[in-house]
A and B are shown apart, each in its own frame.
Chain A
Amino acid sequence: AQSVAQPEDQVNVAEGNPLTVKCTYSVSGNPYLFWYVQYPNRGLQFLLKYITGDNLVKGSYGFEAEFNKSQTSFHLKKPSALVSDSALYFCAVRPYNNNDMRFGAGTRLTVKP
């Protein structure tokens, strides 16, 4: 069965600094990998996904993520953080052959002015 680990409950960065939110996964076969963001009292919003091809994936709001097969990681990055990026971020993995998506526990990102 597939699983996702987000090792950090909380990440704090200063505005303008680069940010990284970590994610590692375990899945049989080729994974489909996703990042979602959740703002207070809202559902999860899609940020980006890796299906195949280039290991560096660019998504919404200037976010990007790098798929690393050897390290089974899919870390979320942004070169310059904004206060408005403060939210809860979820990594998710889905096997290529079924609809079952597994989510990590989430990482709360706080960007301070």
Chain B
Amino acid sequence: ETGVTQTPRHLVMGMTNKKSLKCEQHLGHNAMYWYKQSAKKPLELMFVYNFKEQTENNSVPSRFSPECPNSSHLFLHLHTLQPEDSALYLCASSQGARYGYTFGSGTRLTVV
């Protein structure tokens, strides 16, 4: 375990469903991130939170909605997704520019 926990590990959802991905860290890090990893594509930064405030939204469609209720938890709310949204969604946390990211194991999402 890395200290960043993502649930669920796998998720299959229909295009009309609403679901949420959860990320939790108790490392004392002040920044949290959502990344999308699709086959044969670079990692795509989706959202950045610093001290619970969203500092970046990388042109992500509104069917993805992040929430950061406190510095330890990060959610990604999903609704009316498309099949092309199927991917591995990775959460990461960091304590500053000099430090690397700590990643969770990801949620493998399949939209049917």
Contact = CB atoms under 8 A, between A and B. Distances in A.
Contacts of A92: 100
Contacts of A96: 97-98
Given A90-B43, A103-B42, A41 B108 contact: yes
Interface string B44-76: 010010100001100000000000000000000
A94 interface: yes
Nearest to A42: B105
Contacts, number: 59
A106 B108 CA distance: 19
Nearest to B91: A43
Interface residues of B, number: 27
B103 A32 contact: no
B1 to A, nearest CB: 11
Contacts of A32: 97-98
Given A96-B97, A99-B97, A43 B48 contact: no
Contacts of B14: none
Contacts of A104: 42
Interface of A: 32, 34, 36, 41-46, 49, 51, 90, 92, 94-101, 103-106
B102 interface: yes
A6 B38 CA distance: 17
B100 A34 contact: yes
A100 B56 contact: yes
B21 interface: no
Contacts of B31: 99
A106 to B, nearest CB: 7
B2 A45 contact: yes
Nearest to B88: A41
